[in-house]
């Protein structure tokens, strides 16, 4: 009958399997080829317990995809072409599979039984491997749990999704077109063109020093004040630095004063009063500081946070610091793997993902144009996997004579409007503010604590290095 797939088992226990039913399915499909359409989205070569049956199903599925006749002779020939005829037991075994076959009326039911056996075997395998690795104290148990969770979620790919009528779908259409659908960024200029939709990934790319983190924090804070619970995955900065930026920006205190321990008693009192006054929205804003993270670990953390904290929007700073759940196969692009995993994860957990992406610096001396979609070409399939792609651009960074406008360039938006939205950049608070809607923080003189006459954005001292912030 062919080789059996090996699987670790407890003593005296047999793996869930149904070899006779596998035979019946393959025989039915060769006798009545129309049965293939009924089970094509249920079965996969991997689900068969007998390896020979997996090879046979590969040949049957290939014939079906090519709209070729399916019978004993064509399946035998396809196995020869694939060099699997000996592995399946030869032409004689193939011919025997149709003996005694009656109606294929129960083929769908039989396919579900085979699928259930496969899921059971995979659960045993995952559990056994987890147990063996947990005995090894050199392994990180949290990584083990996250990896096992990722594998279990992938088993859902073998489930069957049934077609729905338009009548069943229409209530979702009404809900999706509601003005309140999706999470707002908090900036009116952007929200009039796009929203962060549950189950989707929005990529926000920018070159260095354009304000990616500033935009994330500014938007997340506005979301928290609106009653949402943002979850910030921060892999580039310390969470305390983010908190400093937020507090100083909102209190109109230059960030550099906090960094250099130059705040006076009035500044500190202002921060303390603001902290007390904003306690409720501050408690809704979660920051997960980590140096790097696998997508599988991220999935476990988000699942836990959604259950415990009710989070409803995820920010990731930034995608280049994530790691794929599994080691990449040779020739498989790392960023493509990460992008695909994020797309699947966003859909599974049903939350909007706003993911920052770092673009390469422009060539020195070259004219600097705003970024565009082609700038993501070296980042795997990020553009294809994303529901929307936007870019941040600050002309003043390259041209001192320009005003400090932040351009939010929507380059791709599947269900919304492309185009340009603008904000102002508050250099003192290192944050984004509405265009003309809020005055920037005053500029202070270091010694006197008064507005500087030369309008410097930060004090300059000889041999005084300012840490990047």
More confident: 13 or 111: 111
Q: Where are the beta strands (DSSP E) in 332-387?
A: 353-358
Burial of residue 145 (number of CB atoms within 10 Å: 0-12, 13-18, 19+): middle
Is the pLDDT at 469 greater than 50? The verdict is no
Query: Which of the following CATH numbers is that of domain 188-434: 3.30.200.20, 3.40.225.10, 1.25.40.10, 3.40.50.300?
Result: 3.40.50.300
Q: How high is the pLDDT of residue 180?
A: 62
Residue 378: pLDDT band (50, 70, 90) is low
Asked whether the whole model's pTM tops 0.95, one would answer no
* Tokens encoding 64: 């079906």
CATH superfamily of 19-158: DNAb Helicase; Chain A (1.10.860.10)
- pLDDT digit string, tens, across residues 331-369: 457 888 888 889 989 988 889 999 999 887 776 655 578
* Tokens encoding 189: 């200029």
Q: What's the whole-number average pLDDT of the chain?
A: 82
Contacts of residue 244, defined as CB under 8 A and 6 or more positions apart, other chains included, come to: 255, 258, 259
Beta bridge partners of 357: 205
Q: Where are the domains of the chain?
A: 19-158, 188-434
Reference 409, options 426, 388, 430; nearest CA is 388
Is the pLDDT at 271 greater than 50? The verdict is yes
Specify the 3-state DSSP secondary structure of 400.
coil
Is the pLDDT at 102 greater than 70? The verdict is no
- pLDDT digit string, tens, across residues 289-328: 988 888 888 888 888 888 888 899 999 988 989 888 776 6
Contacts of residue 180, defined as CB under 8 A and 6 or more positions apart, other chains included, come to: none
- pLDDT digit string, tens, across residues 14-67: 889 999 999 999 999 999 999 998 888 889 999 999 999 999 999 999 999 888
* Tokens encoding 241: 């630095």
- pLDDT digit string, tens, across residues 209-251: 888 999 999 999 999 999 999 999 999 889 888 888 888 888 8
Between CA 339 and CA 347, with CA 344 as vertex, the angle to 5 degrees is 125
Burial of residue 346 (number of CB atoms within 10 Å: 0-12, 13-18, 19+): buried
Q: For the residues 124-139, what does the mean pLDDT come to? A: 88
Which DSSP helix (H) or strand (E) runs through 291? none
Q: How far is the C-alpha of 196 from the C-alpha of 410, rounded, in Å?
A: 13
Cβ atoms 325, 295 nearer than 8 A? yes
Q: What is the largest CA-CA distance in the chain?
A: 98
Is the pLDDT at 467 greater than 60? The verdict is no
């Amino acid at each position: 009958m062919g080789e059996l797939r090996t699987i670790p088992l407890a003593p005296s226990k047999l793996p869930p399997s149904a070899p006779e039913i596998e035979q019946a399915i393959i025989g039915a499909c060769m006798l009545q080829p129309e049965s293939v359409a009924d089970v094509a989205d249920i079965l996969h070569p991997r689900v068969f317990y007998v390896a020979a049956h997996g090879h046979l199903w590969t040949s049957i599925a290939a014939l079906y995809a090519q709209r070729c006749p399916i019978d004993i002779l064509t399946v035998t020939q396809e196995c020869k072409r694939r060099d699997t005829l000996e592995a399946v037991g030869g032409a004689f075994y193939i011919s025997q599979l149709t003996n005694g076959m009656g109606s294929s009326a129960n083929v769908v039911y039989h396919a579900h039984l085979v699928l259930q056996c496969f899921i059971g075997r995979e659960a045993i395998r995952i559990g056994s491997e987890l147990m063996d690795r947990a005995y090894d104290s050199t392994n990180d148990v949290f990584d083990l749990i996250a990896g096992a969770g990722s594998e279990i979620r992938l088993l859902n790919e073998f489930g069957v999704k049934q077609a729905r009528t338009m009548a069943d779908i229409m209530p979702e259409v009404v809900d999706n077109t509601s003005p309140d659908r999706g999470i707002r960024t908090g900036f009116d200029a952007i929200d009039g063109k796009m929203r962060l939709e549950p189950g989707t990934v929005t990529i926000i790319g920018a070159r260095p020093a354009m304000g990616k983190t500033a935009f994330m924090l500014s938007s997340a804070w506005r979301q928290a004040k609106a009653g949402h619970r943002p979850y910030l995955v921060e892999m580039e900065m310390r969470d305390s630095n983010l908190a400093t930026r937020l507090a100083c920006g909102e209190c109109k205190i230059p960030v550099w004063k906090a960094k250099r321990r130059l705040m006076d008693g009035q500044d500190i009192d202002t921060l303390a009063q603001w902290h007390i006054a904003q306690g409720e929205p501050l408690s809704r804003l979660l920051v997960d500081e980590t140096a790097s993270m696998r997508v599988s670990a991220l999935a476990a953390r988000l699942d836990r946070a959604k259950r415990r904290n009710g989070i409803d929007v995820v920010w990731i700073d930034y995608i280049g610091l994530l790691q794929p759940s599994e080691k990449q196969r040779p020739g498989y692009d790392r960023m493509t793997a990460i992008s695909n995993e994020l797309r699947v994860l966003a859909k599974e957990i049903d939350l909007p993902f706003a993911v920052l992406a770092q673009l390469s610096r422009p060539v020195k001396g070259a004219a600097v144009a705003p970024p565009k979609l082609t700038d993501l070409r070296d980042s795997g399939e990020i553009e294809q996997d994303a529901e929307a792609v936007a870019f941040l651009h600050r002309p003043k960074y390259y041209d001192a004579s320009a005003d400090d406008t932040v351009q939010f360039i929507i380059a791709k938006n599947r269900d919304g409007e492309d185009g340009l939205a603008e904000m102002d950049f508050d250099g003192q608070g290192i944050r984004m503010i509405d265009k003309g809607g809020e005055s920037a923080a005053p500029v202070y003189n270091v010694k006197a604590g008064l507005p500087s006459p030369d309008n410097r954005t930060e004090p300059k001292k000889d041999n005084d290095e300012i840490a990047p912030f």
